[in-house]
Every structure is written in structure tokens, then in C-alpha cells.
Structure 1
Amino acid sequence: MSLDDLRDDIDAQYGEFDDALSVDLDRETKHELAMLAAVFGTDDGELIRRAVHTLFQSTVGSGDLDFHLRQGYDTTYDEYLAGMTYEEMTGADQYPERDDVRRYQM
């Protein structure tokens, strides 16, 4: 898979989200959500948005996102943001492979 595949998958997934998501919550999650709503005085939607942002920032900061992106798409989050791979950024993909076996033969 590649950077283009990642973009396609993100676009497809984004299209599946409606403005309102319905999520089934287990008893523990409902309890935790109720506790946070009571403490912060916000609605459930705001807490869910905060939770998604926190999870995203956590996975970016810990390197988990890059690990999974590299496994599934052979790219990183920085490459996704730049819209090109490191090889494309540095020009390393412009030159042919060196033949180290025959390098010093004349």
C-alpha cells in the first residue's frame, strides 16, 4: 500500500461519517462518560470530540500512528501531511540504484 492508498482510504472513511454518529456504549463507558459530563459540565458530543482529539494526539506523540501507517501503507504521518514520501522530498528516487559489486571495476 502507498501514500495514495492512504489518501483514498481516508476519503472513503470520511465519506461514511454522517454529521451525527451513533455509537453503542457498554456500561463502563457510559459510566465514565457520565462522570466526565458531570465534572466538565459539557454535553456528550463535546466530550467525544475531546476524546478523539486526545487519542489522536496521543498516538501521534507516542509514534503509534507512524508505526501503524508504516505497517499498513508504508508511509508516515509527516509524509501524509507533506503529500510526498521522504524519497520524493530528498530526490533519492530520481537516481538509479548503485551496483556496489561493480562499482570499482574498470
Structure 2
Amino acid sequence: MSLDDLNEDVQDTYRTLEDELSVSLDRETQNELALLEAALEPEETDELVRRAIHMLFQSTVETGKLDFQLRSGYDVTYDEYLSGMTFEEMTGADQYPAMDDERRYQF
């Protein structure tokens, strides 16, 4: 998979999320959400869900888990996704022909 595949998958998922997202909660999650809502008193419960997604995303980026998953599935990193170019494209390494190891040191 590649950077183009990742961009396409993100756009497809974004389109499906534009429809109303309904999430069923297990008992433990519902209790935790109720406690957070009582303690933090947000205007809407949706605000807590948005905050949770932001926190999960941030911790996944900071710990390197996002890069690991992206590298495993798409062979790119989060920085490459943000820039829209792979490291090889940024450095120009993909512009040169492959080296012939047998003839590399012959003059």
C-alpha cells in the first residue's frame, strides 16, 4: 500500500463519518462517561467524546503507535501523510537508478 492508498482510505472513512455516528457503549464505558459528564459538566455529552478522540489521537501520535500502524499498513509515516510526500520523494532518492552492487566499485 502507499501514500495514495492511505489518502483514499482516509477520505472514504471521512465521508462515512459525515453521516451521524452512533456508538453503543458497554456498561463500564457508560459509567465512566456518566462520571466524566457529572464532574466536567460539558454543554453536551458529544463534547466529551470529541475530547476523548483528541486525547487518543495525540497519545497515539506521541508514542509512535500511529507511525507503526501506518508503516505496517501503508509503508508511510504520519509526517509523510501530512506532507503528502514520502521520504524518498522529499529527498529525491527515488530519482536515481538503483545501484548495481556487482559493479559498484569497478572503475
TM-score computed with the length of structure 1 as normaliser: 0.96
Cross-structure match for 1:105: 106
Cα distance, 1:97 vs. partner?
A: 1.1
Measure the CA separation in 1 of the matches of 2:91 and 2:76: 15
Q: In structure 1, the residue corresponding to 2:85 is in which secondary structure?
A: coil
Q: What is the root-mean-square deviation in Å for CA atoms of aligned residues?
A: 1.0
Gaps of 5+ in 2: none
Gaps of 5+ in 1: none
TM-score computed with the length of structure 2 as normaliser: 0.95
Measure the CA separation in 1 of the matches of 2:106 and 2:58: 52
Equivalent residue pairs, number: 106
Cα distance, 1:35 vs. partner?
A: 0.3
Cross-structure match for 1:73: 74
- Indicate the percent of aligned positions where both proteins have the same amino acid: 64
Cα distance, 1:104 vs. partner?
A: 2.3
Q: Structure 1 residue runs of 4+, over 4 Å off?
A: none
Q: Is residue 2:37 matched to residue 1:23?
A: no
Cα distance, 1:101 vs. partner?
A: 1.7
